[in-house]
Amino acid sequence: MAPESKAADAPTVVPMPATTRQARRIELEPGPGPEPERDSYAVTALSDIVDRSTHAAAARFTAGLSPAALAEAYLDWATHLAFAPGKRLQLADKAWRKATRLANYATHCALKADPSVACIEPLPQDHRFDAPEWKQWPYNLIHQSFLLTQQWWYNATTGIRGVTPQHENVVEFAARQMLDMMSPANFLATNPELLRRTVATGGMNLVQGARNMAEDWERTVGGHKLPGTENFKVGRDVAITPGKVVYRNRLIELIQYEPATAQVRPEPVLIVPAWIMKYYILDLSPHNSLVKYLTGQGFTVFMVSWKNPTEQDRDLGMEDYRELGVIAALDAISSIVPERKIHAAGYCIGGTLLSIAAATMARDGDDRLKSVTLLAAQTDFTEAGELMLFINESELAFLEDLMWEQGFLDTKQMAGAFQLLRSNDLIWSRMVRNYMMGEREPMTDLMAWNADATRMPYRMHSEYLRKLFLDNDLAEGRYRSGGRAVALRDITAPIFAVGTVTDHVAPWRSVHKIHLLTDTDVTFVLTSGGHNAGIVSEPGHPHRHYQVLTRIDGDHYLDRHSWEEQAPTKDGSWWPEWAAWLGERSGAPVAPPPMGSAVCPALADAPGRYVLAD
């Protein structure tokens, strides 16, 4: 449903288009006579279209980043640094001391001392200089000089009094991106691993790298997927858990999976995945499918499969996703399994939507939810990680203009922003490996899923970024659902929340804030891994561990540091912990329900057709 235009309140008989706030009002300017002079509708609309089109054209060359936002951050930093002589003196002192450290290190190495004793160590997540060749002259001096320079620039872009936190983060981030681009690991002449490889292969690695680059360019221009993804075809290799599509509307298909046990728990499980990617991350290969695991534990599982929106879906908003998504799925399940409460689980943005739906249902007296599970899902966005670098008024206006012209946010534009957050791993290291080493990283099911991205409707994405990220309306009680404000504290169903240690999309310190926003029982799990790999953490996966602690309604609040100290650590996957938690809140096993109902008959075999659409 399109947003209601505010132009009806303006003193004109011509309705204004519902675009930006500027286009929703008529500006009055003082005129020569007693009556104010009104801007014409044509001039206002034309100026709005020109500005938006200009921004949209620029956004295609800046990966959606607003030049005005970057300039604002830079000027804030540069101006305050210019008026901070003490800080500049400190930076000069740091530069002198780092140069001295490097000179001492060079002398130390020249005297044939142990070259493995470095003057600076890379950060734990930085593996660019792990190879033993980097400890040999002159590459030890090269990479040590780079790390010292990187550390100096971090000091130069942070800790300046008066700079706003976001501007400081943006400048530090931008400096880090430029330094990562100039890393000695990215160039043949300064990377000993590349030189060794080139000598060993007679330069054939560079030839193969050029072939890889040409192949990737051809695939990009032709709109084809990455090499290797053809080995993970949806419905043949991944997303193959047996099931039926039992409901379909313009936004979702609802999949009911076949039972894997003779009896099942009476309460079904509904999974609401993120629509920023396709649902089958939770139903990958048989060995790491969360759906298959749950059915094997005796649960009836339903999964929402979101439609990949097009320009015709530009006006779908967050309320449409709640009503046509979560509520429609619950209604369909209630027709198949009547008078049964439902365990609902949401992943990433799907978890955020589920929390809104659960709060709305609690407010309206709808008690169908037996429990709520939130997987790497944020409900408070004040500490939403490095994604907040791209969330301010200037950036959102720029991004909205790009989506306004297209009707959606394209998959490549979203992927570019996420890759920037981990440019070392996702951009530069990958380019070195593919185009200079001449190697191809073996494709996995998770990587193939990650390449199968979806679009985001204009209105929904704008509302999501503004109301949740920018204004934090949900956590602060201003978010309106069904025409009225909702509060998460109204949820009485027990909550199982999962955060992942290295999540750069939904940092666990942000996910942990569910404790502050709800009064119900909360079982919180902190698991090893990142936003995707931490959730796809099947039993038997090596090197997995997690912490878990339950807060009963009435217990005192534990901040995240105290929580880490008190929560016991367990080895292995968190999946059995969740299955046991669900089982404790479920009834005795009963005969499996039918596949579909008279109201919701089986329409097609899983995985359905929405997941197959590009």
Residues annotated as catalytic are 348
Nearest to 301 by CA among 281, 286, 282, 284: 282
**Do β-strands 495-500 and 369-375 pair in parallel, antiparallel, or remain unpaired?**
parallel
SS3 content of the chain, % helix, strand, coil (to 5): 45, 15, 40
Asked whether 180 and 147 are in contact (CB, 8 A), the reply is no
Would you give the DSSP letter of residue 507?
Answer: -
Would you give the DSSP letter of residue 451?
Answer: T
φ and ψ at residue 302, rounded to 5 degrees: -120, 145
Rg (CA), the chain: 27
Asked whether 249 and 321 are in contact (CB, 8 A), the reply is no
For residue 377, give the amino acid letter.
A
Quick one: CA dihedral 80, 84, 87, 93, positive or negative?
positive
Quick one: CA dihedral 468, 469, 470, 474, positive or negative?
positive
Asked whether 472 and 510 are in contact (CB, 8 A), the reply is no
For residue 133, give the amino acid letter.
E
Nearest to 604 by CA among 256, 126, 212: 256
SS3 label, residue 546 = strand
Asked whether 596 and 300 are in contact (CB, 8 A), the reply is no
Half-sphere exposure of 113 (CA within 13 A, CB side): 10
103-122 burial, b at 16+ Cβ within 10 Å, e below that, comes to eebbeebeeeeebeeebbeb
**Do β-strands 604-605 and 243-248 pair in parallel, antiparallel, or remain unpaired?**
antiparallel
φ and ψ at residue 25, rounded to 5 degrees: -130, 160
φ and ψ at residue 173, rounded to 5 degrees: -65, -45
φ and ψ at residue 474, rounded to 5 degrees: -65, -45
Largest CA distance in the chain: 90
CA distances from 109 to 119, 195, 329, 384 (A): 11, 22, 67, 44
Q: Looking at beta carbons, which pairs linking 224-227 to residues 24 or more positions away fall under 8 Å?
A: 225/451, 225/452, 226/443, 226/447, 226/448, 226/451, 227/440, 227/443
